Amino acid sequence: MSPAAGEQLSGSHREGRAVEARRVFIGAGCNRVVNNVSWGACGLVAFGTQNAVALFSPLRGEIVTTLPGHKAPVNCTLWLPTKKDVLQVRGRETHCLLSGSADGTIMAWKIGSGKGEWSHALQLPGMHKKGITCLAGRMVSDTIAIFASTSSDGIVVIWEIAIEPTPGGDCKVSCLHSLSVGLKPVVSLSLAVLPEQGGHLILAMGGLDHKIHIYCGDKAGKFIKACELKGHSDWIRSLDFSLPVMMGGEKHNLFLVSSSQDRTIRIWKMTSETASSGSSVQLGKRTIEMTSYIEGPLFVAGSTSYQVSLESLLVGHDDWVYSVEWQPPTLLTGDGAHQPMSILSASMDKMMMIWRPEKNTGLWINSVTVGELSHSALGFYGGHWQPDGRSILAHGYGGSFHMWRDVGLDSENWQPQIVPSGHFAPVSDLTWARSGQYLLSVSHDQTTRIFAPWRNQVNPGDMIYWREIARPQIHGHDLNCVTFIQGSGNHRFVSGADEKVSRVFEAPLSFLKTLQQATLLKPDISEDFDNVQVLGANMSALGLSQKPIYTHAAVKESPSGNSNDGPDSMETIPDAVPTVFTEPPVEDQLAWNTLWPESHKLYGHGNELFSICCDYEGKLVASSCKAQSAAVAEIWLWEVGTWKAVGRLQSHNLTVTEMEFSRDNAFLLSVSRDRQLSIFSIRKTEEGAEHRLVAKLEAHKRIIWACSWNPFGYEFATGSRDKSVKIWCVEDASSVKLLAILPQFRDSVTALAWMGRDRASNAGILAVGMDNGLIELWSVSGGRAAGSTPNTPLSVACVLQFDPLLCHVSTVHRLRWQEPSSTDEKSALELASCGADHTVRVFEVRGSI
């Protein structure tokens, strides 16, 4: 795979040997906030995922980077120049991205559109005391932009930012003015340059008082209130000004579109008239009432007065309309810009609509409707045009993106497109499939997701992009842990959630065939596909279990007649349609047609599941739960296949945070909140399993979060909140010896993963993940490999600190190395990570260590 534009590398040189890490994949969901997404004139889409600002390329359908810096969830983003600033976009190499977070911080980023370079430009002065709710701005010259920010503290701040169009230029920001808007916060803003008034700006604000407040001002940032527009009967959620429009010989008209939780959209027309007398100023004090549709208020800006009238009232959505946006203008020959009369609206009714005036009558009608018909979707938080108007993008309640592109030649034909996807809550655990073909992750968003490189329909030499290919489990509890069952047979995993039951899932036939399509590899299950009798799974209406759909039952007629309940009954959820996908599935297919059937439930724990692991032969699974006492902190052993409990290991007094079997399955290592580590010897027998506590000791001064075995021997590492990593060794199967303590880390160590590289020298790489989201790689060699002769001194060294742009922006929850397919030391390794920032990441690590 050749690095794409915007590829990020992290490298280190030590003793002439280079080690570098490259981003392969980022999976992330969108924060569930209304103004969170912005599609820039540079072609990239910006959105907040927890405390990071993520950028994705709609052309490639992948997230290209995440920008660290915010200390609270990102609420809104804004590109400058905007899509409306078509004159200022031409030939521009550097774009500016603004982001506002829930703690009132606004940051500016410089984005090099052609080369895929991004850098943190500056943090704006702290003018807001509460979370930023909206950002709106416009370019007023080639290098100067005016933008406004609003917050739930009831203040609107006007800013000026100077953006140099060349890559080396600096961004400079100054605060021009601050407006207090009263007790009811403003949640939507739109800013425009007034026609025929080059130096005058108009600012529309909408919020919780059901009114639109119009302010007029100049480039110096001094804004005064001009009028109020009444008509909406609920919160105003979105406002957007058009570019000036020439209509039928009239002077330039400015249009403002507004949407509300009253389910309606209003289009307001502002017509310029020359101010000749003081009478027009008096009229400015009038406000529009529900009945006076035609004549609205008159306001004055500079030497021109503007008459406001209600152009149209659009009724079509069945739920709150969260966003409206004018189609971006197109550049005309010369210095002109054409504003298409077309509006995109997005609503919580799961629909996006494009509204246009009818050619003959001029009445605004809904000309295009797209949406998610799946019952699992819960509506859209916002809709956005591509700068050229050929694609539209929505972001939804489930942190998901939905994109449609007009692929029609003679008439419009809007078809779903591939977009990035990922979790919209902290990702608590992940595991590679035993073949390393795909990655399985679980999250507090109550889903289990499978990510894999999609190789089908890829030309030689092309980039291979990772996609979400299945969503095996959609649950009613936050998921905390997962393990893949090793050994032969069908693909199976066990997951644990905030409930006392572990659940076992088995791959259906539809997934196995989709996986074959995606990876172009032969199936790794020893049996033939014919032996897999389950085609897919259905979600029960009120339960938590996923019921199998059998291959022989797939021909049955539609289940529409199997219930006597009325149409509003909870039981009328349609059956899933298990599908073999020849191209990556889109959101509503993932949410409904890719479930795996649940084959067993494992009862026994007294509290919510917290940690789970499987041995390397696929014969035993160990699980632990949240615990405040020794009795509840037992580790349970389950026999794979019969799924009987075959052991209860007692040692810890508090929650066991992580467990791992040694590579030869002789030992089980566990670490706990009680600061202890325990080693159990495990032996599989015909009746079940024999176990014995070999060693127990207090290993750290704070909670131990992570542990990992050396694949070549009985050395293992532990990582703790005390910011230390210690390397230990099991000696003579009866005691544990401390071999080394790594130098103090900058933050709590929360994840560890040890990968073997050379058995002869017992050399390997230890990946260390921290509470601040950063990742480091350490080379570990020496000691004694399992079954080998005398010890050599253990040597450890840091070989790579990942670039923060590559890393998570908050706690790393898990690190997992993919089992290498080649024993060649120079072959690339893949490291997967997940964290509290809602992301799953895959890195390629190259270089001999």
Q: What is the pLDDT of residue 578?
A: 81
Token pair, residue 688, equals 């079940």
Domain stop point among 147, 162, 180:
180
377 within a domain of the structure (yes/no)? no
User: Side-chain half-sphere of 622: how many Cα atoms within 13 Å?
Assistant: 27
544 within a domain of the structure (yes/no)? no
The CATH number of whichever domain residue 101 belongs to comes to 2.130.10.10
CA-CA distances (angstroms) from residue 784 to 352, 541, 793, 820? 63, 55, 9, 22
Q: What angle do CA 440, 444, 450 make, to 5 degrees?
A: 15
What is the rounded distance in angstroms from the CA atom of residue 150 to the CA atom of residue 153?
A: 8
Domain stop point among 157, 180, 203:
180
686 within a domain of the structure (yes/no)? no
Q: What is the pLDDT of residue 163?
A: 83
Q: How many residues does the chain have?
A: 849
Q: What is the pLDDT of residue 826?
A: 65
Strand partners, 808: none
Q: What is the pLDDT of residue 580?
A: 87
48 within a domain of the structure (yes/no)? yes
Contact yes or no for 365/343 (Cβ under 8 A): no
Contact yes or no for 702/721 (Cβ under 8 A): yes
The residue behind tokens 């490999």 is 785
Domain stop point among 180, 208, 235:
180
Strand partners, 11: 20
Contact yes or no for 363/345 (Cβ under 8 A): no
Number of domains the chain is built from? 2
Token pair, residue 607, equals 């509290």
> DSSP readout, 786-814?
TT--S-EEEEEEEEEE--TTTS-SS-EEE
| Domain of residue 118, residue span | 33-180
CA-CA distances (angstroms) from residue 393 to 403, 552, 672, 836? 4, 39, 45, 26
Instruction: Name every residue whose Cβ is closer than 8 Å to that of residue 359 and which is 6 or more positions away in sequence.
Output: none
Q: What is the pLDDT of residue 529?
A: 62
Q: What is the pLDDT of residue 123?
A: 82
Q: What is the pLDDT of residue 533?
A: 72
Token pair, residue 431, equals 């595991």
Rg for the chain (alpha carbons), in Å? 30
pTM: 0.90
Contact yes or no for 269/257 (Cβ under 8 A): no
What is the rounded distance in angstroms from the CA atom of residue 779 to the CA atom of residue 758?
A: 11
Long-range CB pairs of 630-639 (<8 Å, 24+ gap) are 631/606, 632/605, 632/606, 632/607, 633/672, 633/674, 635/659, 635/668, 635/670, 635/680, 636/602, 636/604, 636/605, 637/682, 637/688, 637/689, 637/691, 638/502, 638/602, 639/688, 639/689
Q: Which helix (H) or strand (E) holds 485?
A: none
Helices of type H across 434-593: 509-519, 587-593
352 within a domain of the structure (yes/no)? no
Token pair, residue 271, equals 């017509």
753 within a domain of the structure (yes/no)? yes
373 within a domain of the structure (yes/no)? no
What is the rounded distance in angstroms from the CA atom of residue 428 to the CA atom of residue 579?
A: 28
102 within a domain of the structure (yes/no)? yes
Query: What are the per-10-residue average pLDDT scores of the chain (849 residues)?
Result: 45 57 94 93 93 93 92 94 87 88 92 71 84 93 91 91 74 88 88 80 92 90 90 94 74 88 93 55 40 66 85 92 94 81 93 92 90 70 93 92 91 91 95 91 94 78 85 91 90 94 92 87 59 73 70 47 39 67 88 89 94 94 94 94 93 95 94 95 87 92 95 93 94 86 95 91 93 95 60 85 93 93 72 96 85
Contact yes or no for 237/260 (Cβ under 8 A): yes
